[in-house]
Amino acid sequence: MASTYLVLKSLHIVAAVLMVGNVTVTGVWATFYFRWRKDADFRLAARAILWTDLIFTFLGGAALTITGILMARQAGMPILETPWIRRSALLLAISTLLWLTILLPDQWRMERLDPSRDEFLKAVFTRWSVVGWGSTILLFVAMWSMVLKW
């Protein structure tokens, strides 16, 4: 039982690193690439964002959720009655909701947008960045809550 828990914990940590690392690094390099959009087709960056989000954010988030639930059950911790688990799960849920309702649709728009519509691209990218960084902060707070059991 202890070895199963340690495997789940290891997978949980790897999933958190993949997911949170991906959203953080994506926000940074997308900002640089957006600044160079006059010299390069930003749609390529938006396409890369879509694919890395589907691979690392979705799979990392799914693995994070599944391993977290399995570890809590194995340890006999009630998820909704354990404050730091409840808080972290809520922050992950809010971040996921923002990703599904705002970030993914904006990524899709940026990937398909005609480069000549720069003002619209600027507006979509700005919203994507503000919501994305807000969502990323929620994920960091969730990790902080998990690590400190706060």
Q: What does the mean pLDDT of the chain come to? A: 94
pLDDT at residue 10 tops 90: yes
Q: What average pLDDT does this structure show over 72-76? A: 94
Q: Report percent pLDDT > 70 for the chain.
A: 99
Task: Give the pLDDT of residue 122.
Answer: 95
pLDDT of 41 reads: 85
Percent of the residues in the chain that have a pLDDT greater than 90, as a whole number: 87
Average pLDDT over residues 117-141: 97
Model confidence pTM above 0.85: yes
pLDDT computed for residue 78 by the predictor? 94
Average pLDDT over residues 107-135: 95
How confident is the model at residue 1, as a pLDDT?
Answer: 66
Q: Is a pLDDT exceeding 70 seen at residue 62?
A: yes
Long-range contacts of 120-125 (CB under 8 A, 24+ apart): 121/37, 121/42, 125/30, 125/34
Buried b (16+ CB within 10 A) or exposed e, 35-56: eebeeeebbebbbbbeeebeeb
2 has a pLDDT exceeding 90: no
Q: What is the pLDDT of residue 126?
A: 97
Cα 124 from Cα 93, distance rounded (Å): 23
Task: Write out pLDDT tens, residues 32-50.
Answer: 989 988 888 889 999 999 9
3-state secondary structure (DSSP) of residue 77: coil
**Dist. CA 74–CA 9, nearest whole Å:** 11
